[in-house]
Amino acid sequence: MIECTILWIFGALFVLNLAYAVIAPNLPIQLIELGVKPNQMAIIFAIYAAAVVFWSPIVSSQLMMKYSGQRLIPLGMLLMGIAFTMFAFIPQMAGNNIIIVTWACLCRVLHGIASSTMQTTAYAVGTNDFPHRRELVVGGIEVITGIGGIVGPLIAAPLY
């Protein structure tokens, strides 16, 4: 039997990766329609990865020492919800390219921070709290990441 915490981790990461995969195919289309140039689009998408790279060590070396994983994962989910809500304001910025790009970058930074908080914490909690189930946790996280990445675009297509 799989412990409830492991199932909770899998569920949270499914939502994380599903949300990422829903936004990924639609955001470029929306930004192009608003006049964002390809080089600006590259910055908007690269900044997410930069946020993940810079934030993940902070999660593992600082936040995990102060707060439990059971607190950090919901905090990451909340931040992700805030970032996605902020994306909804982009169409109202039509006509001001600099504000659109700046706002989109801010959204992507928050999304990257939320994602790395959840992902890093999930691996830490799963492997530290369940050493006897470590392989199940790591393998399950990878499977859930893939499933979220598959289901997300399937949901995104009819939305746009």
Q: Where are the domains of the chain?
A: 38-150
- Torsion, Cα 14 16 21 26, to 10 degrees, reads 140
What is the overall mean pLDDT for the chain?
Answer: 91
> Which of 29-33, 50-54, 64-68, 142-146 has the lowest average pLDDT?
64-68
Residue 70 predicted with pLDDT over 90:
no
Residue 85 predicted with pLDDT over 70:
yes
What DSSP character marks residue 63? I
Helices (runs of H) and strands (runs of E) counted in the chain: 6, 0
The 3-state DSSP class for residue 32 equals: helix
